[in-house]
Amino acid sequence: MPVDLQALYPRLIHLMLDTVFVVDRDNTIVFVSNACEALLGYPASELIGTPITRYMHPDDLDATKASIIRVMNGQPHFDFRNRYIRKDGGVVHILWAAFWSDEVGARIGVARNVTALTQAEEELRFLAHHDPLTRLCNRSLFNQRLAAALQAAHYHQKPLALLFLDVNGFKAINDLYGHALGDRVLCAIARRLEQCVAATGTVARMGGDEFTVLLTGSATPAAVSEKMGQILAAMAEPLGDEFGGLAMPSCSIGVALYPVDGQDADSLLSHADGDMYEKKRRRYAAG
């Protein structure tokens, strides 16, 4: 016997993992499929008869209203993303396909939860410019910021400073205590550098146990000397009990000042690196 598709359609809609919304021209929800409870935390009975705009993330409201106008003007939208606030207060990222039906007199939309996908995309974008271990800027982003800072310094005739920091004896930490603990030490150093630099510059991990600091807020010789003292004092603070009694390693810091030590990125990095290794050499020579 032939299949009664008309009778089957409502069941199919409620079986869908994506959520189907039907919204009238006043933005009132007139129908929503059962999947909405997993998506927004509300059963259908609580949503029907309420304005759909009530659940939209306030930061996405203007863009969403613009999309609604587009759809109601006969331009279907198959790739619109926005955020909604769940019943429990959480935020869900949604991918929409929607069109306006003159026959029904309503906007019909299918909503897919893409929160995990969005978070993965954001993480990939972050990792393109940041070190995955310490979450500091990586070499690529640091070089971009250094180039921009040099242009600004040249234009405004203001100094800037570049610090090159190397952790003394870090290889021994990895060899004696293992790379897992060594990684935790690097993260501790990263957080201390961030606290010292704050909004006055940029901290980056260049690789291994080498870090750079770009100071643009106040880069006079006196201010740079004071900042280096602050960093060395922060690095001298002992590690917490969770490090099993491991002593905080010392650091050697080289410095280069623009424009006296170089007028381009390569010369400044080379000068700061050379200054750091000279201080490290004198440290080991002194015993």
Together in a domain, 239 and 183: yes
pLDDT tens sequence across 226-261: 999 999 999 999 898 888 888 899 999 999 999 999
Nearest CA-CA partner of 163 in 213, 117, 100: 213
pLDDT (average), residues 35-64: 96
pLDDT (average), residues 11-31: 91
Together in a domain, 169 and 266: yes
Q: How many CB atoms lie within 10 A of CB 181?
A: 17
pLDDT tens sequence across 131-168: 999 999 999 999 999 999 999 999 989 999 999 999 99
| Residue 3 pLDDT greater than 90, yes or no | no
Together in a domain, 138 and 69: no
Write down the pLDDT at residue 8. Answer: 63
d(CA 136, CA 129) in angstroms, rounded, equals 9
Together in a domain, 71 and 156: no
Together in a domain, 164 and 96: no
Looking up residue 267, the CATH number of its domain turns out to be 3.30.70.270
Domain boundary among 97, 120, 143: 120
Together in a domain, 165 and 279: yes
pLDDT (average), residues 211-236: 91
15 CB contacts (<8 Å, ≥6 apart)?
A: none
d(CA 256, CA 159) in angstroms, rounded, equals 11
Residue 214: band (very low, low, confident or very high) from pLDDT cuts 50, 70, 90:
very high
Write down the pLDDT at residue 1. Answer: 56
d(CA 18, CA 34) in angstroms, rounded, equals 9
Write down the pLDDT at residue 79. Answer: 92
* Number of domains into which the chain is organized: 2
pLDDT tens sequence across 93-114: 999 999 999 998 999 999 999 9
Together in a domain, 11 and 113: yes
Nearest CA-CA partner of 134 in 189, 97, 74: 189
Q: Which residue has the higher pLDDT, 11 or 272?
A: 272
Domain that holds residue 76: 5-120
Domain boundary among 120, 155, 176: 120
Write down the pLDDT at residue 13. Answer: 81
Helix 170-177 with 179-197: angle, nearest 10 deg: 140
Together in a domain, 106 and 133: no
Residue 4: band (very low, low, confident or very high) from pLDDT cuts 50, 70, 90:
low
Instruction: Give the DSSP letter of residue 181.
Output: H
Together in a domain, 153 and 170: yes
Phi and psi angles of residue 13, each rounded to the nearest 5 degrees, phi first: -60, -40
Residue 283: band (very low, low, confident or very high) from pLDDT cuts 50, 70, 90:
confident
d(CA 121, CA 86) in angstroms, rounded, equals 21
| Residue 287 pLDDT greater than 60, yes or no | no
Write down the pLDDT at residue 282. Answer: 81
Q: Considering the chain, what is the average pLDDT of its residues?
A: 92
Together in a domain, 84 and 189: no
| Residue 45 pLDDT greater than 70, yes or no | yes
Looking up residue 33, the CATH number of its domain turns out to be 3.30.450.20
d(CA 36, CA 212) in angstroms, rounded, equals 49
Together in a domain, 114 and 138: no
Residue 57: band (very low, low, confident or very high) from pLDDT cuts 50, 70, 90:
very high
Does this model's pTM top 0.85? My answer is: no
Write down the pLDDT at residue 65. Answer: 95
Together in a domain, 143 and 251: yes
Report the C-alpha dihedral over residues 108, 113, 114, 115, rounded to 10 degrees: 140
Task: Dump the DSSP string for 82-129.
Answer: EEEE-TTS-EEEEEEEEEEETTTTEEEEEEEE-HHHHHHHHHHHHHTT
Residue 214: in which H helix or E strand, if any? strand 210-215
Write down the pLDDT at residue 225. Answer: 92
Domain boundary among 79, 99, 120: 120
- Catalytically active residues are 209
